[in-house]
Structure 1
């Protein structure tokens, strides 16, 4: 199963150093049966994109854990894992993993570009308010989500981190 894990730049640096990625609380997002049932139509690719964007939104919540000087960018780690357990009681796309993901299971990393930093910073400050229905906060969140995430192959991760 392809799982999309919310992450931060600091988490990527740690994963590169440790040789494995440890998702926060083992939480990720995937095309689960519950997610498929919650849409009346959509291809596998379209519904996996929904899971990816759920992970990108969750990444906003993690930005407060970043070290000093880390760029405000959404990060999503895509990995192919077998032991993901769907948690439809939390959200249709949520899955949980029992542990870390080895780097060789990572299929790609998706990261905001520098142009998105102002919008991401603003969205991170109001993501909880947006979830509670604040229209101004939802607008700020939409500004961040208008920026497409850049795609990096696993072997490109160290070089991308070096360039930040």
Structure 2
């Protein structure tokens, strides 16, 4: 099963150093039965894109949390695509996040299929989205528009052998 794990560049560096994505439990996003039922007309590729998009939203929140904690993280969303066994990802029951899954174990780097990262041209919009998150969460429509604008940027695909280049 393909799982999309939200991340940041500093967290990716830690995962590379540790040889695994963790610590467990991990929250990820995948094509779940609830997502398939809700998005009845989509094929597998479309459903995986929905899961990737959800993980990118979670990555934006991770960036905001890093900033609040004083972590100097580049304003680039990161999503790790990994292959896990079918029973490893437990789907949640939250109807707002139909693609959300929980992994009870860390994911070895050997299970990573690819990494998706914002291109540098997206940085100003990601910065604006991070700044707008609190107001967006408070119901401000203009701030929500700014946060949603981050999704206008497609994440770039990187092979696993390109990860070291991303971290330098």
Structure 2: 5+ residue stretches without partners: none
- Aligned counterparts of 1:25 and 1:59: Cα–Cα separation in 2: 16
Q: Cα deviation per residue 1:25-54 (whole Å; 9 max; x = unaligned)?
A: 410000000001111311110011000000
Write the mapping of 1:69-148 to structure 2, written as runs, cut at 5 A: 69-82=72-85, 83-89=88-94, 91-127=97-133, 129-130=135-136, 133-148=139-154
Q: Is the 8 A contact 1:87 1:94 kept in 2?
A: yes
Corresponding residue for residue 48 of structure 1: 48
Q: Is the 8 A contact 1:5 1:23 kept in 2?
A: no
- Aligned counterparts of 2:118 and 2:154: Cα–Cα separation in 1: 7
- Aligned counterparts of 1:30 and 1:17: Cα–Cα separation in 2: 25
- Aligned counterparts of 1:103 and 1:19: Cα–Cα separation in 2: 6
Structure 1: 5+ residue stretches without partners: none
- Aligned counterparts of 1:7 and 1:76: Cα–Cα separation in 2: 6
Q: State the superposition RMSD in angstroms.
A: 1.8
**How far 1:24 sits from its partner (Å)?**
7.3
Poorly superposed stretches of 4+, deviation over 4 Å: none
- Aligned counterparts of 1:24 and 1:149: Cα–Cα separation in 2: 25
Tell me the TM-score normalized by structure 1: 0.90
Q: Specify whether residues 25 and 140 from structure 1 end up closer, same or farther in structure 2 by C-alpha distance, changes over 3 A only.
A: farther
3-state DSSP class of the match of 1:4? strand
Q: Is the 8 A contact 2:51 2:99 kept in 1?
A: yes
